[in-house]
């Protein structure tokens, strides 16, 4: 009995005297370790007369609990003291503002991840192709023959080698259809290049995301439902849309998908040039000549394609009024997103 009391008092004194965490651990070993005082008491239990064993065992267990509590309490005290010492030494300034500017993904990357996720859900794969193209994949196979005036529409850069920094991701349609048998569902996000004068809505290097769906008996209804679903996902609400006829040599009919201007909600403002609508996705039904150029029979297969102006979509999604801001590294802008 007196042993128990003495060990308890010793343990209390020793934990109180431990000046740091290492000394405290030594105290733990001394009392609770394998060869420690409490273990030694437990060993004595076996030598006691049977009627005393149970009571003694319970007391030793209670003692173990108490010693552990001394250790825990002292540990807290020592940790607190260590923190106080840091503060006193002036190494840490607790008055500094806690709001930190942590890194984040670029808005273009975020929207790209969302677009990929959306189309994965619809069974599409992500396809890619080279950024430096040849005229066949960028133009000819897309039903834009050499010397056709439509080539001018794309303000093309030409390398001295005659190669073309691709003017659109439509070249990936061609590369995919050349190499694979329909049915096909792909999206192809990537950089494109045009000889544009840079302003709030035009860049010479920008991102597009092409989409291609080839199957049997595909209709404009499929195209419409797909693109309306995409726009709703990206804008976060059922934004009003409209399709207008448009001309692109590689689709027939060709269409432009407009959404109601998100800035003025359709009433007309400087951004939508008072029309109440913003053009977001050129699209259409794949032209039979394009299918033929890739070796597929247009009487058997058909489908739709679209080429979303990706940066523009990001602008609209985040309410950014100038495309250049997406590339100028201005963190003030990012913080607001
Ligand atoms: N490639 C076209 C462009 O860049 C966009 C587009 C793609 C239009 C697919 C229709 C179908 O202007």
Paired tokens of 199? 């302003």
Q: Whole-model pTM above 0.85?
A: no
pLDDT at 333: 55
Question: Is residue 298's pLDDT more than 70?
Answer: yes
Average of per-residue pLDDT across 173-178:
98
> Is the CB of 282 inside a 6 Å radius of any atom of ligand 1?
yes
Mutation to probe ligand 1, out of 127, 166, 253, 307 (largest number of atoms < 8 A from CB): 307
> Is the CB of 248 inside a 6 Å radius of any atom of ligand 1?
yes
Average of per-residue pLDDT across 24-34:
93
pLDDT at 144: 95
Packing angle between helix 21-32 and helix 37-45, nearest 10 degrees? Answer: 10
* Secondary structure (3-state) at 202: strand
* Secondary structure (3-state) at 308: strand
- The protein residue with its alpha carbon nearest to ligand 1, atom 6, reads 307
CATH numeric code, 107-336? 3.30.930.10
Question: Is residue 110's pLDDT more than 90?
Answer: yes
Question: Is residue 330's pLDDT more than 80?
Answer: no
C-beta separation of 124 from 211 below 8 A:
yes
CA of 227 to the centre of ligand 1 (A): 14
Question: Is residue 331's pLDDT more than 70?
Answer: no
Neighbouring residues of 247: CB distance < 8 A, sequence distance ≥ 6: 254
**How many whole angstroms separate alpha carbon 124 and alpha carbon 48?**
78
Paired tokens of 244? 């207008």
* Secondary structure (3-state) at 139: coil
pLDDT band at 323 (very low <50, low <70, confident <90, very high): confident
- The protein residue with its alpha carbon nearest to ligand 1, atom 9, reads 306
pLDDT at 2: 58
CA of 325 to the centre of ligand 1 (A): 24
**Residue with more model confidence, 90 or 247:** 247
For residue 181, give the DSSP letter.
P
> Is the CB of 168 inside a 6 Å radius of any atom of ligand 1?
yes
Paired tokens of 101? 């500017």
Mutation to probe ligand 1, out of 254, 282, 286 (largest number of atoms < 8 A from CB): 282
Contacts by 67-75 with C-beta closer than 8 Å and gap 24+? Answer: 67/7, 67/8, 67/11, 67/15, 67/31, 67/32, 67/38, 68/32, 70/11, 70/12, 70/15, 70/16, 71/15, 71/24, 71/27, 71/28, 71/32, 73/15, 74/15, 74/16, 74/18, 74/24, 75/21, 75/24
CA of 72 to the centre of ligand 1 (A): 69
Measured from the CA of 167, which atom of ligand 1 is nearest? Answer: 4
Q: Across all residues in the chain, what is the average pLDDT?
A: 91
Q: Give the residue ranges of DSSP H helices in 195-278.
A: 220-235
Paired tokens of 196? 């544009």
% the chain with pLDDT above 70:
96
* Secondary structure (3-state) at 1: coil
pLDDT at 116: 97
Average of per-residue pLDDT across 221-228:
98
Q: Where are the domains of the chain?
A: 2-89, 107-336
């Amino acid at each position: 009995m007196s042993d128990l009391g003495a060990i308890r008092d010793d343990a209390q004194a020793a934990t109180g005297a431990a000046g740091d965490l290492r000394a405290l651990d030594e105290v733990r070993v001394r009392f609770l370790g394998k060869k420690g005082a409490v273990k030694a008491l437990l060993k004595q239990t076996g030598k006691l007369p049977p009627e005393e064993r149970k009571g003694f065992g319970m007391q030793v267990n209670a003692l173990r609990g108490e010693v552990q509590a001394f250790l825990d309490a002292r540990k807290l005290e020592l940790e607190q003291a260590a923190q106080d010492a840091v503060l006193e030494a002036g190494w840490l300034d607790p008055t500094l503002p806690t709001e930190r500017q942590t890194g984040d993904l670029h808005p273009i990357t975020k929207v790209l991840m969302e677009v990929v996720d959306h189309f994965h859900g619809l069974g599409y794969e992500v396809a890619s192709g080279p950024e430096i193209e040849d005229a066949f994949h960028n133009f000819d196979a897309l039903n834009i023959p050499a010397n056709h005036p439509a080539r001018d529409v794309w303000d093309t850069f030409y390398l001295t080698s005659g190669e073309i920094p691709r003017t659109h991701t439509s070249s990936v349609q061609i590369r995919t259809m050349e190499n694979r048998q329909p049915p096909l569902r792909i999206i192809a996000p990537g950089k494109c290049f045009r000889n544009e004068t840079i302003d709030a809505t035009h860049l010479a290097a920008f991102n597009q995301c092409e989409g291609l769906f080839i199957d049997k008996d595909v209709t404009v209804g499929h195209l419409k439902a797909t693109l309306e679903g995409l726009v709703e996902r990206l804008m976060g609400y059922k934004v009003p849309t409209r399709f207008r006829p448009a001309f692109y040599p590689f689709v027939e009919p060709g269409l432009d998908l407009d959404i109601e201007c998100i800035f003025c909600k359709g009433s007309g403002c400087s951004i939508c040039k008072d029309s109440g609508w913003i053009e977001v996705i050129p699209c259409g039904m794949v032209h039979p000549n394009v299918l033929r150029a890739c070796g597929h029979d247009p009487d058997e297969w058909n489908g739709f394609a679209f080429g979303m102006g990706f940066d523009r979509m990001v602008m609209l999604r985040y309410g950014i009024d100038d495309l250049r801001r997406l590339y100028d590294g201005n963190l003030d802008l990012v913080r607001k997103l």
